[in-house]
Structure formats: structure tokens, C-alpha cells
């Protein structure tokens, strides 16, 4: 079974020309590479959390796990990507405090990067005006656990299908009794499960409204342990 799966994956990549797409993840205004499954709404206040843990005599630990962090500005990476002629990359704002850093990256590489993180109908056009090639949307469209078609169609009417990327980053539900163990789209910095499964029907339906999909396999994101092979096969 494992050999068969690897053969399918090899065929998938052999038939499609691989393209490297760069990424700039921003957290608290800094460029970071984060282990996706450790990202929480409390991640911006690690010190407070650690103090609370100490006060309760529990072992102090990091709330957020990062592989890489730098004081080098996001704009430097954007300029490097432009110099190396890397296209189709993105800037992701993980929580508050990232607006200025994201703007600087987009302005350093006009029309060369997509942008995501808190994008909605009220600010999508503004981010495009800053130089984004596309806006990436998740939580605004996947609302209350479902696809909000009114929000999606309004957004497409506003900016056009060719400027929209839908983020279908996904996880399996823990202790799911479904024998197929489906992947579900997750929102709110990958913490909230929707009822939307990542499958052929979902991809066909949503492809009518966007230019591309962005898919992170959350459980492996940032862990430097390779791809989620079954997810690659599913998307193929």
C-alpha cells in the first residue's frame, strides 16, 4: 500500500512541472517560520502565558514553536524574490501587528506577491492597491463553519475571480469516526474546524470563484518532516 502511494505521488510530480513559490510569514511584525499546529490566538502573549504557568507550579513552556525568526525586514525578502524571479509567492499576516511589514513587502515587489490574513470585502481592494497580485481569503468566506456564498460572490464581484485565492488549509479532526478520515478546512489561524471537506466536489465548486487554491497541510506545516502524501494524492 505504501509503495503504491509513493508511485502515485511520483507520477503526480512527474506529470506536472514543479514550481518553487516563496513565502513570507509575519507574526508580531517579524518574519518567522512557525510550526503551524502550535499557532493559537494566545500566541502573541507568550510571556503572560508562561507567567501563569509558573504561578500554578506547572512547567513553563513555549506556546508558539518557531523554526526561524529574524530581524531582517520583510521587504528584504521580497526584493530577493524579485531578483531571483520567483513568482506566485505570498505574504501571510498571522495575527495583529503585521500590516506595515506586509505593505513594505508588497511595495518592494509590486504585483509579485499575494497577501493573506484578515482579508475581507472591506479591505481586499486596498491590499491590491498596495501591490498584491492576489488576495488570499479563508475565514471571511468560510463563515460559521460553512461556505458563505453571499460573501464569496460579493468578493468576486468586487475584485474579480482572477485576483482571488481561496485558502483551503486543512486538518483531520481528532478522534474522527469517519473511516475515510477526511481533511476539513480550518480557519482562525488554523484553530477552528469548518464542516467543509477538502475533496473533489469542493474543489470543483470553488474553482468557479477563484484563480487558485492555497492548501497547507497544517499537521506537517513547519515541522520539516515532508509532505502529507495522502493530501497530495487527494489534490491531484
Indicate which CATH number applies to the domain containing 228. 3.20.20.70
Q: What is the pLDDT of residue 220?
A: 72
Separation of alpha carbons 86 and 67, rounded Å: 23
How many structural domains does the chain have? 1
Here the cell at position 205 is 465548486
Q: What is the pLDDT of residue 35?
A: 64
Q: What is the pLDDT of residue 46?
A: 37
As to burial, measured by CB atoms within 10 angstroms (0-12 exposed, 13-18 middle, 19+ buried), residue 62 is exposed
Q: What is the pLDDT of residue 56?
A: 31
Separation of alpha carbons 16 and 185, rounded Å: 25
Q: What is the pLDDT of residue 61?
A: 36
Q: What is the pLDDT of residue 48?
A: 37
Supply the range of the domain harboring residue 211.
2-235
Cβ atoms < 10 Å from Cβ of 18: 6
Q: What is the pLDDT of residue 38?
A: 59
The dihedral over CA atoms of 2, 18, 222, 200, expressed in degrees to the nearest 10, equals -60
Radius of gyration for the chain, computed over Cα atoms and rounded to the nearest angstrom: 18
Q: What is the pLDDT of residue 190?
A: 81
Reading the chain (236 residues) residue by residue, the pLDDT tens digits are 555 444 444 444 455 667 889 999 999 999 998 765 555 654 343 333 333 333 332 332 346 677 778 999 999 999 999 999 999 999 999 889 999 999 999 999 999 999 999 999 999 999 999 999 999 999 999 999 999 999 999 999 999 999 999 999 999 998 888 878 899 999 987 889 999 999 999 999 999 999 999 998 888 776 677 788 888 888 87
Amino acid at each position: 500500500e505504501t509503495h503504491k502511494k509513493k508511485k502515485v505521488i511520483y507520477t503526480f510530480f512527474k506529470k506536472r512541472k514543479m514550481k518553487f513559490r516563496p513565502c513570507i510569514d509575519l507574526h508580531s511584525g517579524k518574519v518567522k517560520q512557525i510550526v503551524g499546529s502550535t499557532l493559537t490566538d494566545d500566541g502573541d502573549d507568550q510571556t503572560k502565558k508562561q507567567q501563569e504557568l509558573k504561578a500554578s507550579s506547572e512547567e513553563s513552556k513555549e506556546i508558539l514553536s518557531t523554526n526561524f525568526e529574524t530581524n531582517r525586514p520583510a521587504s528584504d525578502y521580497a526584493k530577493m524574490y524579485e531578483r531571483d524571479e520567483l513568482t506566485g509567492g505570498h505574504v501571510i499576516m498571522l495575527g495583529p501587528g503585521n500590516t506595515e511589514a506586509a505593505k513594505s513587502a508588497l511595495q518592494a515587489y509590486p504585483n509579485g506577491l499575494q497577501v493573506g490574513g484578515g482579508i475581507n470585502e472591506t479591505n481586499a481592494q486596498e491590499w491590491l492597491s498596495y501591490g498584491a497580485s492576489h488576495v488570499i481569503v479563508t475565514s471571511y468566506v468560510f463563515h460559521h463553519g460553512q461556505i458563505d456564498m453571499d460573501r464569496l460572490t460579493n468578493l468576486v464581484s468586487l475584485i474579480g475571480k482572477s485576483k482571488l485565492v481561496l485558502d483551503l488549509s486543512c486538518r483531520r479532526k481528532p478522534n474522527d469516526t469517519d473511516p475515510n478520515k477526511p481533511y476539513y478546512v480550518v480557519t482562525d489561524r488554523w484553530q477552528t474546524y469548518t464542516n467543509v471537506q477538502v475533496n473533489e466536489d469542493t474543489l470543483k465548486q470553488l474553482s468557479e470563484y477563484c484563480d487558485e487554491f492555497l492548501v497547507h497541510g497544517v499537521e506537517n506545516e513547519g515541522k520539516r518532516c515532508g509532505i502529507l502524501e495522502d493530501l497530495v494524492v487527494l489534490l491531484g
